[in-house]
Amino acid sequence: MSTDSRFAVFTNADYRLGVIIEPRSRKFSGAAAGSGRDMSTSLDEIIANFELLDDWDDRYRYLIELGKGLEPLPEEAHDDANKVRGCASQVWLQMRREGGPGPQTRLHFLGDSDAHIVRGLVALALAIYSGHSASDILATDAFAIYERLGLAAHLTPQRSNGVRAMIERIKSDARSASAASAA
């Protein structure tokens, strides 16, 4: 751990990753500033940290560390209603709405998985989507972000299918929230 309290250095056993990121309590800056949302790591930080890592073993370790930083999903939320279908590993996503019905409803997600790397992929999906409006979620192409990070080429077909299922579940929740105003 760094002596500077603004930074943390990820380590895995005796292997030092050399990635320095700001602590988990960092608030969003930019468009989300003032929203009061605390995120483990913002999407911009994840992208920047991924770009610092040349080796895929280091990137996988970083994904695992992101998963460890997820806000815990309550045990009662590990149920059939929150389970994501189409994932080889078990994945749960719990959604909470903020604001009235319609496309401007903000959706907040908590997630979990029984597999370490998949928990990291859940953390990445939540960094992309959680706390955004339903319309923004529907307009965001997470696959382009996964491609930019090189994940599309380095995930097994099973994990890629799981990522698709997770993203489709989030987008389905956003479509439902958007359609709520028409009902």
Q: For 145-169, what is each residue's pLDDT tens digit?
A: 999 999 989 999 999 999 999 999 9
Count structural domains, the chain: 1
Alpha helices in 53-91 (DSSP H): 56-68
Residues in the chain: 183
Q: Is 156 tagged catalytic?
A: no
Dihedral (CA of 56, 119, 126, 168) sign: positive
Residue 2 counted as domain residue? no
Residue 87 counted as domain residue? yes
- Percent of the chain clearing pLDDT 90 (strictly above): 68
Residue 139 counted as domain residue? yes
CATH (domain of 103)? 3.90.1010.10
pTM score: 0.77
* pLDDT tens digits along 73-90: 999 999 999 999 998 899
Residue 80 counted as domain residue? yes
Residue 1 counted as domain residue? no
Domain encompassing residue 154: 8-179
Alpha helices in the chain (DSSP H): 43-52, 56-68, 116-129, 134-139, 142-148, 151-154, 157-179
Q: What is the pLDDT of residue 95?
A: 96
Among the options 64, 84, 87, 166, which is catalytic?
A: 87
Question: Rounded to whole angstroms, what are the CA distances from 155 to 16, 38, 46, 112?
Answer: 23, 28, 17, 19
Residue 74 counted as domain residue? yes
Residue 141 counted as domain residue? yes
Residue 3 counted as domain residue? no
